[in-house]
Amino acid sequence: MNPIPLLHGALAPVVTPFTADLRPDAGRLARHCRWLVAQETGLAVFGTNSEGNSLSVPEKIALLDALVDAGIPAHRMMPGTGCCALPDTVELTRHAMRHGCSGVLMLPPFYYKGVSDDGLFASYSEVIERVGDARLRIYLYHIPQVSQVPIGLALIERLLARYPGTIAGVKDSSGDFGNTSAMLERFQPRGFDVFSGSESFLLETLRAGGAGCISAIANVNPGPIARLVREWKAPDAEAQQAALDRVRALYQSFPMLPALKATVAQFSGDDAWTTLRPPLVALEAAERAELRDGLRALGFAMPGLIEIDRATAGA
């Protein structure tokens, strides 16, 4: 038996704050993580929406250490550890296991395109053998529109047959629920946890036996997402899903990552949150205003954020 608890339900690819000179800001990150945990939301730090691939390996190691030091529970974390270079993926994955993270969300190596399933199998296999930790849970990260390296069903089948338990699940960010459905039917019954990459498929995923969602929007709207995870059998589940969809629809008019940071800045009253690392850029003032108006029209709030920020700003 794996002594580390499984992560299910809602997870956020936690946005990473930067200082004015573009260094990662561990204090602000810990505060945002603390708020998300209080909202029953797991922490997929160093994901796509965390600017995870804009961080160096030493920066990610230092941030993970800082979060654990700040009391953020490692078993609520699923850090992104998949890099282009095998030694980087191994080092980050080992470090996550040293802290007892619940799992890791692992991109395939994403520089070379059109690579074979043999090559991708060898990549995951080398990482697993080198990390050599029976507690390791790898969640495969399928996000073809960004990585341009898809993780197909045949590859999952091979990996799952060779490394059952270690190949623990997938985040399907393809946006194609047909693909998620195929994964749910074929792999979820074998204990392979399927997470939707968007809360817009949350209810469908849970009804089909899936594990939950790992969604950008969970950075700003974690409470209602976590509530649907708890209440997906409730009579108003469809209405809850529709409310989540309305929030998502608003964000889809903006570049997602800067829009999330603008919202955290707005509700924490802390403008430092608007900084992004190149090549990503912050929203223009007019876009921020438009987003703010849209959120107001929806009656949107981030309850408790400002309290967490004030209570722990000095910590």
Alpha helices, H only, the chain = 26-38, 57-69, 86-98, 117-131, 144-147, 153-162, 177-186, 202-207, 222-230, 237-251, 256-268, 285-297, 305-312
Binding part of the chain for its own copies, among 7-15, 83-91, 231-239, 265-273 by CB under 8 A, reads 83-91
- Smallest separation (angstroms) from its own copies to the CB of 78: 19
Provide, for the chain, the percentages of residues in helix, strand and coil under a 3-state DSSP scheme, each rounded to the nearest 5: 50, 10, 35
Cβ neighbours of residue 121 under 8 Å, at least 6 residues apart?
155, 158, 159, 162
Here the tokens at position 94 are 């080992």
Of residues 92-151, those binding its own copies (CB under 8 A):
108-113, 115-116, 118-120, 122-123, 125-126, 145-149
Contact positions with its own copies (CB under 8 A) in 157-176: none
CA dihedral (217, 218, 219, 223) positive or negative: positive
Minimum distance between the CB of residue 283 and its own copies, rounded to whole angstroms?
12
What x/- string results for residues 198 through 237 when contact with its own copies is judged by CB under 8 A?
----------------------------------------
Question: Shortest approach of its own copies to residue 59 CB, angstroms?
Answer: 7
Please select the residue that binds its own copies; options are 40, 88, 270, 287, rule is CB under 8 A: 88
Is residue 86 at the binding interface for its own copies, with CB under 8 A as the rule? yes
Only segment of 6-14, 85-93, 134-142, 219-227 that touches its own copies (CB under 8 A): 85-93
Active site residue 124: no
* SS3 call for 249: helix
Report the residue from 280, 289, 301, 311 that binds its own copies according to the rule CB under 8 A. 280
CB of residue 3 vs its own copies: minimum separation in angstroms? 30
The Cα-based distances of 310 to 14, 26, 61 in angstroms read 19, 16, 26
Q: For residues 204-234, b (16+ Cβ closer than 10 Å) or e, as one string?
A: bbbebebbbbbbbbbbbbbbbbbbbbeebee
Query: At closest approach, how far in Å is the CB of 274 from its own copies?
Result: 14
> Of 171, 261, 274, 275, which one is the catalytic site residue?
171
Contacts with its own copies by CB under 8 A: the residue count is 40
Cβ proximity to its own copies: between 112 and 307 the closer is 112
Give residue 168's Cα distance to chain centre: 15
From the list 69, 22, 28, 3, the residue with the least C-alpha distance to 219 is 28
Please indicate whether residue 141 is annotated as part of the active site. Answer: yes
Catalog residues that contact its own copies under the rule CB under 8 A: 22, 48, 53-59, 84-88, 91, 108-113, 115-116, 118-120, 122-123, 125-126, 145-149, 277-281
Catalytic residues: 48, 111, 141, 171
